[in-house]
Amino acid sequence: MKCTRCKKEALVKLKRHNAKFCGDCFEVFFSRQVESAIKRKNMFSEEEKVLVGVSGGKDSMSLWHYLKKAGYEVVAIHFDLGIEEHSQKSRQIVEEFARQNSFPLEIIEVKKEVGFSIPEIKKRIPYRPICSMCGLIKRYLLNFWAFREHFSVYATGHNLDDEAATLLGNVLHWQIDYLSHQHPTLPSPHPKMVKKVKPFYTLTEEEIMIYIRLHNIPFLEERCPLSRRAKSWDYKEALNFLEEKSPGTKHMFWLGFLETGQKYFRQEEPPLHLGECSICGMPTTQEVCSFCRLIQKVKEREEKYLDYNGGK
């Protein structure tokens, strides 16, 4: 098997591109994908300081490594969710990687920030999907910290598979508002909302895994134990089945939507009016933001639980 680019012995085969690459040429391919995404979608410049959300999984660890290797000024932030052994392993991987490479890193313990760990929130509000609540909390804290520390942009490791699965879910449920706004670059609509970008939006999980193996980057392979019933895994499984039958399906579905389909879901609407939450002061369309409403609900359930159990 010969490398498509240089004709040396190839190490990997990318079916969706009908290409084979040696290690060096895969690096070129990977870099071109990321740099093209950053420039084409106006994500950030070489002069900007970028905050990267790092969970300890392969995508965020690869993004952290790539941006630092490429010379961008990057600060990583990791949220300790308090999910027992899973969070302990994630934090250990992230902290050790930062220490070995002298990378700047901030650790935020969710329980210290909001008063409850993610499992405690799940216990108090069992009727809501925990992944949606966890995602809401992480998005809020990531934006809050980025704003407070004067970052103009923050990046996450969402890849092509993630975005295609999200798109499939939005289409199946005809979430028109989500379909109109799903994009790898979300500009700031308010001074307190930091621009959010996804530099890996054209790269598949398989390609990111190749990158992480080539560089021997440590990462946590196991799934979050609380995410076992998440619909996103079902959507990914369905798309993987189609991809196996017809390589490039996910690529055409997600990137084709961005290039051709999304315009049909964008509606003419007045500019979004964002006020500020009466509790935390962060942007919201309501008097109290979704984050504060969630934490209020958890506190109410906690008070009822303590009253019922005599304060124990």
Q: What is the CATH number of the domain that holds 166?
A: 3.40.50.620
- pLDDT of residue 250 exceeding 70, the answer is yes
Of 253 and 268, more confident: 253
Residues 179 and 305 in one domain: no
- For the stretch 47-68, pLDDT in tens is 999 999 999 999 999 999 999 9
**CA–CA dist 267, 150 (Å, integer):** 32
Inter-residue contact 184 to 198 (CB < 8 Å) = yes
Q: What is the dihedral of CA 121, 142, 294, 188, to 10 degrees?
A: -160
Q: What is the pLDDT of residue 196?
A: 98
Range of the domain at 295: 273-312
Q: What is the pLDDT of residue 5?
A: 96
At a CB cut-off of 8 Å and minimum separation 6, what does 234 contact? none
- pLDDT of residue 229 exceeding 90, the answer is no
The total of structural domains in the chain comes to 2
Residues 244 and 214 in one domain: yes
**CA–CA dist 62, 203 (Å, integer):** 11
Q: What is the pLDDT of residue 307?
A: 61
Residues 298 and 222 in one domain: no
Residues 131 and 150 in one domain: yes
Inter-residue contact 101 to 113 (CB < 8 Å) = no
Residues 287 and 264 in one domain: no
User: Hey, what are 244's tokens?
Assistant: 């196996």
Q: How far apart are the first and last CA of the chain?
A: 66
Residues 171 and 47 in one domain: yes
**CA–CA dist 188, 194 (Å, integer):** 5
